[in-house]
Amino acid sequence: MIEFWILAVLIAVLGVPFTLWWWKIGDRWADEEHKRFKPKAALPPDRVVVRKNATIDGSNAAPPRED
């Protein structure tokens, strides 16, 4: 049972700082990659026109009335 506690303490003492150090190295690498591949300029959005009575085929004919 003592071996369990020794291993648990070793993992906590060595594992936590190693994980934090690894994340630090990973963040540096990610920052360098972001600098290498800068984002492209965004294109202006396409103009969208919404017509109230337009049909699928593009004509402006009003749909038939149901009386």
pLDDT along the chain (67 residues), means of 10: 93 93 94 83 79 63 64
Alpha helices in the chain (DSSP H): 2-10, 16-36
Q: Answer yes or no: are the C-beta atoms of 53 and 62 closer than 8 Å.
A: yes
Distance, CA of 12 to CA of 6 (rounded, Å) = 10
Distance, CA of 17 to CA of 10 (rounded, Å) = 11
What does pTM read for this prediction?
0.45
Q: Which two tokens stand for residue 25?
A: 């190295």
pLDDT of residue 54: 56
Q: Answer yes or no: are the C-beta atoms of 60 and 54 closer than 8 Å.
A: yes
